[in-house]
């Protein structure tokens, strides 16, 4: 895995905007996401779309970034990374741009860290194990989703969830030994 970090890009844009506007907007980068106080930017009449486009363009210059999206481009893209980001971003979050890393790259500020919880293909490919009475020992190489854990546990425990769940029970786990 190769490390990929855009914190320096966020810092440069923050410095430039602060010099022009006399205030900081809190532009930060974390795990493929550029976020800021977008409300303050709009109040100071900063062209948020222009800043977002510049962040994506600058991030795409080096190796490791497959694609980037802004608030205008994310909703309509059919790219798998865009689909994952749409499912990840809370509506109230003030964000400027999101990036998708190339295969073999992880978001890291040059430190060893786990990256689970980000919408990258590598982070989504995590092992899962179910162990306990009545669960047959086996190994399966098919893809399951983290949202499949709750429905599987509910069926194993014989309970009905009080709300609809996004995932589906993992049938292989439900087979009694």
Residue 57 to residue 106: CA distance in whole angstroms: 19
The reported pLDDT for the residue numbered 3 is 84
- Containing H/E element for 51? helix 48-59
- Containing H/E element for 154? helix 149-157
> What phi and psi values does residue 123 have, to the nearest 5 degrees?
-70, -30
Residues of the chain with pLDDT > 70: what percent? 89
pLDDT at 114 over 70: no
Q: Averaged over 3-10, what is the pLDDT?
A: 92
Is residue 26 exposed (0-12), middle (13-18) or buried (19+ Cβ within 10 Å)?
Answer: middle
pTM for the model:
0.71
- What pLDDT digit, counting tens, does each position of 13-67 carry? 999 999 999 999 999 999 899 999 999 999 999 999 999 999 999 999 989 999 9
The reported pLDDT for the residue numbered 133 is 82
Instruction: Kindly give, in sequence order, each residue whose CB lies less than 8 Å from that of residue 119, ignoring residues fewer than 6 positions away.
Output: 32, 81, 84, 85, 87, 88, 100
The reported pLDDT for the residue numbered 174 is 84
SS3 sequence of 76-125: HCCCHHHHHHHHHCCCCCCEEEEEEECCCEEECCCCCCCCCCCCCHHHHC
The mean pLDDT of the chain is 88
Assigned token pair, 80: 């798998």
Q: Averaged over 97-102, what is the pLDDT?
A: 94
Residues of the chain with pLDDT > 90: what percent? 53
The reported pLDDT for the residue numbered 105 is 84
User: What DSSP state is assigned to residue 176?
Assistant: B
Residue 167 to residue 164: CA distance in whole angstroms: 9
């Amino acid at each position: 895995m190769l490390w990929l970090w855009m914190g320096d890009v966020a810092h440069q844009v923050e410095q430039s905007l602060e010099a022009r506007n006399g205030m900081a907007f809190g532009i930060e980068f974390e795990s493929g996401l550029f976020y800021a106080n977008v409300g303050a930017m709009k109040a100071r009449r900063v062209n948020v779309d222009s800043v977002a486009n510049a962040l994506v363009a600058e991030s795409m210059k080096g190796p490791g970034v497959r694609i980037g999206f802004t608030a205008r481009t994310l909703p309509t893209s059919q790219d798998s990374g865009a689909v994952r980001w749409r499912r990840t971003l809370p509506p109230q979050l003030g964000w400027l741009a999101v990036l998708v890393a190339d295969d073999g790259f992880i978001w890291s500020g040059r430190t060893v860290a786990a990256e689970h919880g980000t919408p990258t293909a590598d982070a989504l490919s995590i092992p899962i194990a179910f162990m306990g009475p009545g669960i047959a020992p086996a190994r399966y190489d098919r893809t399951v989703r983290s949202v499949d854990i709750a429905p599987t546990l509910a069926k194993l425990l014989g309970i009905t969830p009080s709300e609809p769940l996004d995932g589906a029970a993992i049938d292989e786990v439900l087979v009694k030994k």
